[in-house]
Amino acid sequence: MDGTTAVKVVSLSPLPAWALAVLLLAVALGVGLASWGVRRERSAGRRWLLWTLRLLAGVLAVGFLLEPGQRKVNVARVKNRVAVLVDRSASMRFPVSKGGPSRADAVTQALQEQAPRMAALGERFGFELLGFDPELAPLSLESAASRPPDGQRTDLLGALNALKAQEVGSARKLSGVLVLSDGADTTGSLGTLDAAELKEALAGLGVAVSTAVVGQGGLEDVAVEGVKVDDFAFVRNSLTVEVAIRAQGFAGQVLPITLKREGQVIATKQVVVSQADQRSTVSFTFSPDQTGRFVYLVSAPVIPGEAITENNQKAFTLKVIRDRVRVLLVAGRPTWDERFLRGLLKQDPNVELISFYILRSNADEILAAESELSLIPFPRQEIFDTKIDTFDLIVIMNFGHAESGVSLADFRAQFDRYVKNGGALAYVGGDMSFSEARGRTPFDQLLPLEPAGPAVLADFHAKPTADGLRHPLVQVGGFGESTEALWAALPAVPGMNLTRAKPGATVLLENPDVPVGSAGAPLLAVWEVGRGRVLALGTDASWYWAFPSHAQGAPTRAYERMWGNAIRWLVRDPELTSLSVSAEAPQVDPGKPIAAVIQARTPDYQPAPNADVVVELQRADTGEVVGTQTVRAGADGVARVEFPAPGAGAYKLKAQSSRDGQPLGEAFDALAVRSLGPELSQAGTDAELLQAIAAATGGKFFTLDSLSVDELPLKEPPLVEVGRAKDEPLWDRWYWLLLLVVVAGAEWAVRRRFGYV
């Protein structure tokens, strides 16, 4: 604000306005009547002389009535603002021209060149640099040069409206606006308006909006513009992913578009580019085979000469859940054990059961013609070759392989692949299980137990092992109940298959009356094979834990709970894991940190307080470790970690926990860091939109090379009184009175001389 003194002429008359009006009217009438009286004077020179003298006398009389004076006031000119809006959206990363600097760098250079002219205009205007991405925020040349633009959309109207909102209540008013942008308005809020609508939309600012287009058209670029997919999918159900591809400047090219899951190629489709600027949609249909959250990556090839390569891929996450647990139950013959388990599974609304059991063999006597039998052949080939991957759990109960018509020995490879790829297998004993020579059963390599001798026929009470007491599968009681006491109270089991545990197996229940090695004979054991889980139960009499216990009024539902826990553990229910890691946001915006929550549990699946947790952030496609965090869990076994913002792409979280040097487990989760969306799919500029904005507001349109702040149409700032005024009268000078007397006397003398008095 620059101070100066302003001088203006004012009336110092003490008379009220109405009195002055009456007197001024009287003077006007006097002048008029005198002029009317000499209208017939034949001499024009005499007539004009009399009129002039009377008019001059009237003017002097008015002057004395108004009492003119000189008022001196201290005033200052307030600097108005000139808002310079700089586009900070991601499209400003594109080069100005092929091989040239980025649009953002070109803007920074242009503003540095205009800085001296802005300083020269600083006496009247204050230039304010503001970035919009799309939120409006102060910007400096230093931050503009050091921080790449990363806004996810361009909203020109939103930026101008935000500027208008800042104007409300501000002491420093706008004199003008300069917008530097490529014009690629991704919101479309201005591009669809005609000239009249555009003028109305921008009228609220009240100042001219000048624009400067940054960049040139004709750039070559391939972009994954968008991915359309549901937030979740059902395991083993087909899912379709739609991918939008935009190719600019590569007519005649064939682009392979690839879909990967954590580095593994799922499918590749080809796009034939036939136009200079072409949008295409590619669809991928596949069936997820595992539950959990996974990260997928859609990528297009990088072609030499592309304007930017950051937009050639896009990552997304997919949560795969179960609609219902699909269980296949295959029994060698109808038994009470098969009946109880099949009934339990059929009653569970979360289970979809498909069951087969063998009613006759080839050696059975047939009393009717084959064509009259209602029994269907056992569809081994269809189930275990083509449909095996559609099941979450396969239960084999007391199944033998001596009969070639029902044997599963030919499907060893299918079972191995199924389990290692994440399937679940429960193998239940009986007189046809664990008793045949090795090599005749497809389950030899998969089971945690192996035959150790002839069956044990004596009754016994199953006893949990030390590992079993910590495992959720054996927890058949309610809260606070003793697991050992509950199992001891259950009915005795009438016999079992005699087996031994393989190295690496975890025995949960044993027969304490029959030693095998240094421990009791294993009854129930589990382990993991590849990504799958396997359970082996060495008896076909587990139903004893259900029917007799109910008859005796036992307070527990041990049978139902044991098998319920077994199914949940086999299919990897998230609540039955020793460690879980979960990204707080599976889709992370660019520039945002990655946070994850870890839940550590003890072997009995209780919270593990003070557990040591190590979490790695890895690139999903290469396994490269981007960052590592080490933290200690709280009293509830929960820990939280945070990683600095990585680049766009697909990532995995790998967590490992331990306590007192003993490992507790490991877990994984997946997340995607978003690319910058439609901003990086539009390599072109929109100079026409920027021209229309300037024309609608009375501004001026520039190219970046022709930009000159001297030519901006700016509203001049107003003067403001900042001090007390001082009045000096002008009418009370002696010469004004003398002049009035002389003029009045001269008129009287002339009128007398001409004979009008």
Q: Is residue 318 domain-shared with residue 393, that is, in the same domain?
A: no
Residue 495 has a pLDDT of 92
Q: Over the stretch 223-277, which tens digit does the pLDDT of each residue have?
A: 898 899 988 888 878 899 999 998 988 898 999 999 999 888 999 999 999 998 8
Residue 607 is assigned to a structural domain of this protein: yes
Domain range for 247: 221-322
> Rounded to 10 degrees, what is the CA torsion of 500, 506, 510, 515?
40
Kindly report the backbone phi and psi dihedral angles of residue 292, in degrees, each rounded to the nearest multiple of 5, phi listed first. Answer: 125, -175
Same domain? For 498 and 561 the reply is yes
What's the pLDDT at 367?
45
Same domain, 197 and 329: no
The residues, any chain, with a CB within 8 Å of residue 230's CB and separated by 6 or more, are 239, 318
The answer on 441 and 584 residing in a single domain is no
Domain-located, residue 682: no
Does the residue 369 lie in any domain?
A: no
For strand 662-673 and strand 649-659, is the pairing parallel, antiparallel, or unpaired?
A: antiparallel
Q: Which residues contact residue 191 at a Cβ distance below 8 angstroms, ignoring those fewer than 6 apart?
A: 185, 686, 689
When comparing pLDDT for 217 and 418, which is higher? 418
Residues 209 and 296 reside in one and the same domain: no
- Please indicate, yes or no, if residue 110 is contained in any of the structural domains: yes
What pLDDT is stored for residue 578 in this prediction? Answer: 79
Helix (H, G, I), strand (E, B) or coil at 501: strand
| pLDDT computed for residue 439 by the predictor | 44
pLDDT of amino acid 259: 95
At position 595, the amino acid (one-letter code) is A
Q: Is residue 601 part of a domain?
A: yes
What is residue 188's predicted lDDT score, i.e. its pLDDT? Answer: 74
Band of pLDDT at residue 604, cut at 50, 70 and 90: low
Q: Do residue 613 and residue 537 come from a single domain?
A: no
Same domain for 416 and 460? yes
Specify the pLDDT at position 366.
47
Contacts of 381-384 with C-beta under 8 Å, sequence gap 24+, read 383/328, 383/356, 384/408, 384/411, 384/414, 384/415
pLDDT of residue 86: 94
Q: Look at residue 313 and tell me if it is in a domain.
A: yes
pLDDT digits (tens, 9 = 90+) for 536-577: 999 999 999 886 545 455 455 788 889 988 998 898 887 677
368 domain-assigned: no
**554 lies in the same domain as 600:** no
Instruction: Examine the fold and report which residue of 532, 547, 570 is the final residue of a domain before the chain moves on.
Output: 570
The pLDDT score that the predictor gives to residue 641 is 94
Q: State the chain's maximal CA–CA distance in angstroms.
A: 164
C-alpha 754/C-alpha 757 separation (Å) is 8
**Least confident among 240-249, 356-365, 475-484, 496-505:** 356-365
Predicted local confidence at residue 592, as pLDDT:
87
Q: Number of folded domains in the chain?
A: 5
Which one, of 567, 233, 235, lies nearest residue 391 by Cα?
235
Cα atoms found within 13 Å of the Cα of residue 188, Cβ hemisphere only: 3
Sign of the torsion angle spanned by Cα atoms 250, 251, 253, 255: positive
| Residues 565 and 617 reside in one and the same domain | no
Mean pLDDT of the chain: 83
Domain endpoint, select from 570, 601, 620: 570
CATH of the domain at 184: 3.40.50.410
The arithmetic mean of pLDDT across residues 343-361, rounded, is 82
Query: Is 702 in the same domain as 581?
Result: no
CA–CA distance from 678 to each of 49, 186, 223, 244, 586 (Å)? 83, 7, 9, 11, 20
Domain CATH number, residue 463: 3.40.50.880
The string of pLDDT tens digits covering residues 120-137 is 888 788 899 999 987 889
Q: What percent of the chain has pLDDT over 90?
A: 33
Is 113 a residue whose pLDDT tops 80?
Answer: yes
Question: Using CA atoms, how far apart are residues 233 and 249, in angstroms rounded to an integer?
Answer: 37
CATH number at residue 593: 2.60.40.1930
CATH number at residue 242: 2.60.40.10
Do 566 and 586 sit in the same domain of this protein? no
Q: What letter represents residue 395's amino acid?
A: V
Rounded average pLDDT over 647-675 = 88
pLDDT in tens, 103-112: 999 999 999 9
Rounded average pLDDT over 445-450:
92
pLDDT of 368 over the 50 cut: no
State the Cα–Cα distance between residues 332 and 158, nearest whole angstrom: 71
Are residues 732 and 607 part of one domain?
no
Helices (H), 240-384: 336-347, 380-381
Angle at which helix 44-66 crosses helix 17-37, to 10 degrees, equals: 170
Residues 6+ apart with CB under 8 A from 92: 102, 103, 104, 107, 149, 181, 182, 214
Q: 384-439, pLDDT tens digit by residue?
A: 888 888 899 999 998 877 666 677 888 889 999 999 988 999 999 988 888 654 44
Whether 233 contacts 319, CB under 8 Å = yes
680 in a domain, yes or no? no
- For the ranges 71-85, 212-226, 274-288, the lowest mean pLDDT is seen at 71-85
Cα separation, 658 vs 600, in Å, equals 9
Calculate the CA 739 to chain-centre distance: 86
